[in-house]
Amino acid sequence: MITRHVHMIASAKPRIELRHRVMRCRAAWLVGALFLISGCTSTGVVSDKTSLGGKSTVEGFELLESQRVLSHGLAQIEERALDKPSIEKFVLSGLSGLADIDPLFSVVEGDGKIRTYVGTVLASELSKPIENGEGEQATINAWLRLFHGSLIGARRQSAALVAADPEQIYNAFFDSALDQLDAYSRYSGRLQARANRETRNGFGGIGLSYVATDIGLEVQKLQPDAPARKAGIAVGDIITHVDGQSFATKRSWIVRRLLRGPIGSTSVFTVLRSDLNGAKAIPVIRKLVVPQTVEFFVEDSIAIIEIHSFNQRTSQTVERLLAKALTDDPAISGIILDLRGDPGGLLDQAVTVSDLFMENGRIVSTRGRHPESIQRYQAFEGDIGQGRPVIVLIDSRSASASEIVAAALQDSGRGLIVGTSSYGKGTVQTVVRLPNEGEITLTWSRFYAPAGYAIEDLGVLPMVCTSGLTGPADQILQNWRQTGSRVASLKAEWRTVAANDIAARAALRGHCPAEVRDENTIDLEVAKSLIYNKTLYAQAIGLTGILEAQQRP
Give the residue among 482, 461, 471, 467 at the shortest CA–CA distance from 529: 471
DSSP 310: B
Element (H, E) at 223: none
Asked whether the beta carbons of 30 and 141 are under 8 A apart, the reply is: no
Q: How many CA atoms lie within 13 A of 338 on its CB side?
A: 25
Q: How many CA atoms lie within 13 A of 165 on its CB side?
A: 4
The rounded distance, in Å, linking the Cα atoms of 472 and 461 is 21
Give the residue among 429, 449, 427 at the shortest CA–CA distance from 440: 429
Coil/strand/helix, residue 342 = coil
DSSP 274: G
If one counts every other C-beta atom within 10 angstroms of the C-beta of residue 104, the result is 16
Instruction: Give catalytic status of residue 188 as yes or no.
Output: no
**DSSP letters spanning 102-120:** -TTEEEEEETTEEEEEETT
If one counts every other C-beta atom within 10 angstroms of the C-beta of residue 100, the result is 21
Q: How many CA atoms lie within 13 A of 108 on its CB side?
A: 15
If one counts every other C-beta atom within 10 angstroms of the C-beta of residue 467, the result is 17
User: Residue 193 — φ and ψ, nearest 5°?
Assistant: -65, -40
The C-alpha R_g of the chain, in whole angstroms, comes to 27
The rounded distance, in Å, linking the Cα atoms of 101 and 158 is 10
Q: Is the peptide bond before 343 cis (omega within 30 degrees of 0)?
A: no
Paired strand residues for 289: 203
The rounded distance, in Å, linking the Cα atoms of 308 and 323 is 20
Annotated active-site residue in 400, 412, 422, 445 = 400
Annotated active-site residue in 342, 373, 425, 523 = 425
Asked whether the beta carbons of 414 and 357 are under 8 A apart, the reply is: yes
CA 97 from centre of chain: 23
Instruction: Give catalytic status of residue 400 as yes or no.
Output: yes
Q: Which residues contact 3 (CB under 8 A, 6 or more apart)?
A: 72, 76, 432, 433
User: Residue 5 — φ and ψ, nearest 5°?
Assistant: -110, 110
How does strand 208-212 pair with strand 217-222? antiparallel
Amino acid making up residue 114: I
Annotated active-site residue in 411, 412, 422, 523 = 411
Amino acid making up residue 352: T
The rounded distance, in Å, linking the Cα atoms of 541 and 454 is 22
Amino acid making up residue 314: T
Coil/strand/helix, residue 5 = strand
Instruction: Give catalytic status of residue 315 as yes or no.
Output: no
User: Residue 270 — φ and ψ, nearest 5°?
Assistant: -95, 120
Residues with active-site annotation: 400, 411, 425
